[in-house]
Structure 1
Amino acid sequence: MRYLISALAAVLFAAPVFAQGLSASYSATPTGPVSLADITIGETLEAKRDEYGAREFDRLIRTLSSDLQRELREAALLADGEGSATLHVVIEDATPNRPTMAQQGGTSGLSFQSYGRGGAHVMAELRAADGSLVATYEYSWTTPSIQDAQFANVWTDTNRTFDRFSSRLAASLRDAVNSGS
């Protein structure tokens, strides 16, 4: 019984964090498949390049790109070549659950056994072929409790954020294309 009450309390208190959704704003009606531009790193995350290590940024970009391609393809919205619009994505910030190799090498006392709350903040713009803004998207998520991170790998919560961002963006875009709004 005590376990059930604890689990229920955890769900109730974590609900506002899990309820965070994709912020999507359409200034024009999107049409047809979209192309994915190279994903970039925002200023906040760029300032952490030396701390995290440059190779980690490549890993984050590859993961998010793969997630977006998968979700847009499943929604039949990924252009094979050039699309009618291009999605420009920026990883504004990311926090690892465990220290990266560069962090471990640069900070005494850190080890792979160290862990913390992770997550990410991602933004995107959908631009028409003429460069005009069609839509903006924004999504942030951080694990609600440090206990959730104790079994995580370096980028577990960041990867979870990327996956949620990608699926919610694709669903929002599909709905907008299908509804004509």
Structure 2
Amino acid sequence: MRKLAFLAPLAATLAVAAMAQAQNPNVNVTIGPDLQRQVEKLGDREVNEQIAALQTEVGKALAQRYPGATANLVLNDLKPNRPTMEQIRQNPSLDPIRSVSIGGAAIKGEIVTADGQSRPVDFSYFSPNIRDVWGYSVWRDADRAFERFGDQIERGRF
């Protein structure tokens, strides 16, 4: 009887974990051809970190709005606000603090809901003006683009 008392909560926990795993959205991100040509200049590691940030943000949004959905996204454009480490390495005249530019990201693709409906995705955000760039991180506007994209998914725009 004691073995059953121990196994019952364990079985319940595993069942809940399996249900949560089944409901987790799947986010696939690929790099578009234009951005692929820029990866060498931006740096592989930094681009991969941005892909991971996009996957995390979209995964959270899909879990809220479309549990069990799959997002197949193409990151078409990615621009930093400040020079990346690779850009500084390639061009030492860039200043990691004073060099500021308009950043952001462009995303296309589709969201396939758990019931099989396909919803097209086309989203981009870039600072409209150099005066609108705020924050001190290299990828602030790209992060803002991912956050806004996640918000749009949660609101049901896509």
Q: Normalized against structure 1, the TM-score is what?
A: 0.66
**2:96 counterpart of 1:112:** yes
- Aligned twin of 1:21: none
Q: Whose RCO is larger (CA < 8 A, sep 6+)? A: 1
Aligned residue pairs, count? 135
**Alpha-carbon distance in structure 1 between the residues aligned to 2:133 and 2:155:** 28
Bigger fraction of residues in helix: 2
Structure 1 residue 151: deviation in Å?
Answer: 3.6
Structure 1 residue 34: deviation in Å?
Answer: 7.6
Structure 1 residue 152: deviation in Å?
Answer: 3.0
DSSP 3-state at the match of 1:99? coil
Pick one of 124, 133, 157 that aligns with 1:149.
Answer: 133
**Alpha-carbon distance in structure 2 between the residues aligned to 1:170 and 1:60:** 20
DSSP 3-state at the match of 2:28? coil
DSSP 3-state at the match of 2:145? helix
Structure 1 residue 78: deviation in Å?
Answer: 2.8
CA RMSD of aligned residues (A): 2.4
Listed as ranges, the gaps of 5+ residues in structure 2 are: 1-22
Q: Normalized against structure 2, the TM-score is what?
A: 0.75
- Aligned twin of 2:67: 78
Structure 1 residue 127: deviation in Å?
Answer: 3.9
Report which of the two structures shows the higher radius of gyration computed on alpha carbons: 2
Q: Is the 8 A contact 1:96 1:156 kept in 2?
A: yes
Pick one of 93, 101, 121 that aligns with 2:106.
Answer: 121
CA distances 1:16-53 after superposition (whole Å, capped 9, x unpaired): xxxxxxxxxxxxxxxxx683242111111111011001
Instruction: Return closer, same or farther for 1:35/1:69 CA change in 2, 3 Å cut-off.
Output: closer
**2:40 counterpart of 1:55:** no
**Alpha-carbon distance in structure 2 between the residues aligned to 1:38 and 1:88:** 5
DSSP 3-state at the match of 1:38? strand
Listed as ranges, the gaps of 5+ residues in structure 1 are: 1-32, 80-84, 177-181
Pick one of 137, 143, 147 that aligns with 1:159.
Answer: 143
CA distances 1:35-80 after superposition (whole Å, capped 9, x unpaired): 32421111111110110010011111110111111112233x232x
Pick one of 80, 84, 103 that aligns with 1:96.
Answer: 80
**Alpha-carbon distance in structure 1 between the residues aligned to 2:135 and 2:111:** 36
The one-letter code of the counterpart of 2:47 is: F
